[in-house]
Amino acid sequence: FHIGEREEKCIIEDIPSDTLVVGNYKVQRWDIHKHDFLESAPGLGMFVTVTSPSGEVLLSKLYGPQGTFSFTSYLSGEHIICFQSNSTRFAVTAGSKLRIHLDIRVGEHFLDESAIQAKDKVDEVNVRLEHLIEQIHHVTKEQDYEREREEKFRKTSEETNSNILWWAIIQTLILISVGIWQIKSLRDFFIAKKLV
């Protein structure tokens, strides 16, 4: 994505509780002379701020033009991940565009291939099995979180439907009582004027 040099960009990630999140990013600055983005942005860094669903700041740190950040979610819900450059230019002169390459991995632990190659085949299979078991635990945690969200949504839908039903019943009763009152008033009026 692209942002201005002094602009803040936030991304919302829906993350289950007790989940490791790892993000890699790389910043490229726009070069007006080449009319292209430079491969790197020396001297430019990024402030990365992560806020939990309860508003608690989980991570607030300055990184370089490319880097890796990680945090563990303690609550399930929407986490806000914000990026802002550490540019010291004034807002008027900081007209440069930045391109940010971002890769966010939720709940995945990656294998160190060099460590696996150093061990014999039995150890390699053992490490891969442990990795698969860890991934299964993560998938189970994701499914539990989705069930929790679905149950909350279902309860909200049922409450809304119940409220709509009661509102319809109340409206019907009001209409019937107003109709009966109008008929009685008209009948009394006609009797008083001796039209009936």
pLDDT of res. 142: 86
Q: Where are the domains of the chain?
A: 2-111, 127-184
Is residue 25 within 8 A of residue 44, CB to CB? The reply is no
Q: Tens of pLDDT along 2-54?
A: 888 778 889 888 888 888 888 898 888 777 777 777 776 667 788 899 999 88
Q: What is the dihedral of CA 51, 56, 57, 58, to 10 degrees?
A: -80
CATH level 3 topology of 2-111: Jelly Rolls (2.60.120)
Q: How confident is the model at residue 95 (pLDDT cuts 50, 70, 90)?
A: low
121-133 pLDDT, tens per residue?
667 788 788 888 8
pLDDT band per the 50, 70, 90 thresholds, residue 94: very low
pLDDT tens figures, 97-107: 888 888 888 87
Report the C-alpha gap between 104 and 96 in whole angstroms.
25
Q: Using an 8 Å Cβ cutoff, are 36 and 61 in contact?
A: no
Alpha carbon distance, N-terminus to C-terminus of the chain: 80
Q: Maximum CA pair distance of the chain?
A: 110
- Give the DSSP H/E element, type plus range, for residue 137: helix 121-192
